[in-house]
Structure formats: C-alpha cells, structure tokens
C-alpha cells in the first residue's frame, strides 16, 4: 500500500496542471509543482510554503470584495464537504506576470479508501493555448474567401475568384479551404439514373427511419 501511495503521489506531482489538496477546514495539505509555479506567476515568493494556508478564508475575503469566482466556489462548499460532486468547472481570466491567462478551475470531494470525505481536491488547468488557437481559427475564418459572398454562375454553378477566374465549387473549396472530397450519389439521382434500384433505396431508407 505504501508503494501504491507513493506512485499516486509521484503521479500527482508530475501532472502538467496545478493540483492542491485541503482538509475539511480548507487548509492545504499538499500540492504539486504546477501549483507552486502558478503562485510564482502571481507574485508569490519562490520559497513560500503553501501547507496550512486556508483557501476557504481566502475565498471568503475575496467574496466580500465582490469576487464572483470566489462566490461561486463558496456556494459549492457545503456540497463538496458532504461528498456531493456538483462543482461545474469554470473558466476565468487571470492577469499574472506571465501575461493574461485563461484558467479552468475544477474541484471535487477528496475521499479516503473507505469513501469518507477527508477534504477537497482542487485543480487549475492553464487553457490559454486553447483560447489562442480558437482566436487564430476565427481570424483565419474571417479572412477566408468563404466568409464573404461568393459570385456563382446561375447556370453552371461555378465560382468566380478575386482574379476573375471561374472554378468548380469542388475545386474552389479544395484550393481555398483545403477540403478534400469523396463521392457518393444521392437518392434523387439514383432514382433518375438507376430507376431499377430506386425501390431498394427507398426500402433501405425506411428501415433506417424505424
């Protein structure tokens, strides 16, 4: 059992997001290196010992000053202490020495091997890279040729580009959005081109609709 506990402790310390454990009073029992790094980014001294710090008291202080994140955490405190995992992960913006960070806060009851609640588990994920990737994708989409009105021939349905050249819809999407196509045939065209198979297709559609 001791080796197993040691393995779990090492696993928690090696995680790439911040983890902290508190007792039932909200005092920190243990934390990993990422929690320490998060503190450093928020001007906490490198040698600061987080053990014994009461996070509930900190949340109460911030709540009195109108901090909505702290208010949300406190609203879930009774559930957590009673073993009810009702905490919904919440994103928030943090202004730190590393710049603007998007963090994801989650919390759940901390149980012993018998299932009894011994405290609270808190995790903080830095999801700034996801927000950056989303912003880049949005910017690319907004500057994409597909985000504006496309001139389409009313007869052959080809698309005219900025150089006044005409392209099939398939080639236009492939060249501008790197979309690859595979080919099938719709039920209407099957009915027109291969009427002998139309009844079979209809029966198949009816079966899937059940």
Q: 100-130 pLDDT, tens per residue? A: 888 999 999 999 888 899 999 999 998 887 7
Q: Provide the pLDDT confidence category of residue 148 given band limits of 50, 70 and 90.
A: low
CA distances from 200 to 22, 79, 82, 204, 205 (A): 65, 57, 59, 6, 9
Q: d(Cα 206, Cα 208) in Å, to the nearest integer?
A: 5
Q: What is the per-residue pLDDT for 11?
A: 65
Q: 145 versus 22: which is more confidently predicted?
A: 22
Q: Provide the pLDDT confidence category of residue 208 given band limits of 50, 70 and 90.
A: very low
pTM comes to 0.59
Q: 151 versus 62: which is more confidently predicted?
A: 62
Per-residue pLDDT at 190 exceeds 80:
no
Q: d(Cα 26, Cα 90) in Å, to the nearest integer?
A: 19
Q: What is the per-residue pLDDT for 25?
A: 95
Q: What is the per-residue pLDDT for 150?
A: 72
Q: d(Cα 173, Cα 152) in Å, to the nearest integer?
A: 13
Per-residue pLDDT at 203 exceeds 50:
yes
pLDDT, mean over the chain: 79
Per-residue pLDDT at 4 exceeds 50:
no
Q: What is the per-residue pLDDT for 92?
A: 87
Q: 75 versus 101: which is more confidently predicted?
A: 75
Q: What is the per-residue pLDDT for 1?
A: 37
Which of 72-86, 125-139, 178-192 bottoms out in mean pLDDT, i.e. has the lowest?
A: 125-139
Instruction: Say whether 74 sits in a helix, a strand or coil.
Output: helix
Q: d(Cα 151, Cα 129) in Å, to the nearest integer?
A: 36
Q: What is the per-residue pLDDT for 162?
A: 76
Q: Provide the pLDDT confidence category of residue 210 given band limits of 50, 70 and 90.
A: very low
Q: What is the per-residue pLDDT for 209?
A: 47
Q: Provide the pLDDT confidence category of residue 94 given band limits of 50, 70 and 90.
A: confident
**Chain position carrying tokens 């012993």:** 112
Instruction: Say whether 53 sits in a helix, a strand or coil.
Output: coil
Q: d(Cα 51, Cα 21) in Å, to the nearest integer?
A: 9
CATH number of 2-132: 3.30.450.20
Q: 128 versus 10: which is more confidently predicted?
A: 128
| Domain chopping of the chain, boundaries | 2-132, 145-194
CA distances from 3 to 10, 11, 110 (A): 10, 12, 20
């Amino acid at each position: 059992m001791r080796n197993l506990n040691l393995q779990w402790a090492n696993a928690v310390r090696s995680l790439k997001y911040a983890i902290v454990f508190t007792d039932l009073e909200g005092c920190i029992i243990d934390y990993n290196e990422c929690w320490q790094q998060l503190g450093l980014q928020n001007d906490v001294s490198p040698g600061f010992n987080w053990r014994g710090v009461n996070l509930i008291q900190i949340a109460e202080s911030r709540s009195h000053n109108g901090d909505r994140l702290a208010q949300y955490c406190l609203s879930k405190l009774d559930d957590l202490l009673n073993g009810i995992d009702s905490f919904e992960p919440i994103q928030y913006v943090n202004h730190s020495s590393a710049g603007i960070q998007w963090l994801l806060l989650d919390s759940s009851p901390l149980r012993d091997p018998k299932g009894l609640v011994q405290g609270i588990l808190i995790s903080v994920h830095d999801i700034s890279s996801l927000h950056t990737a989303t912003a880049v994708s949005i910017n690319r989409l907004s500057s994409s040729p597909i985000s504006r009105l496309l001139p389409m021939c009313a007869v052959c349905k080809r698309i005219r580009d900025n150089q006044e050249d005409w392209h099939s819809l398939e080639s236009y999407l492939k060249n501008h959005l790197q979309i690859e196509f595979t080919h099938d045939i719709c039920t209407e065209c099957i009915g027109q081109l291969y009427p002998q198979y139309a009844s079979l297709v209809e029966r198949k559609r009816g079966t899937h609709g059940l």
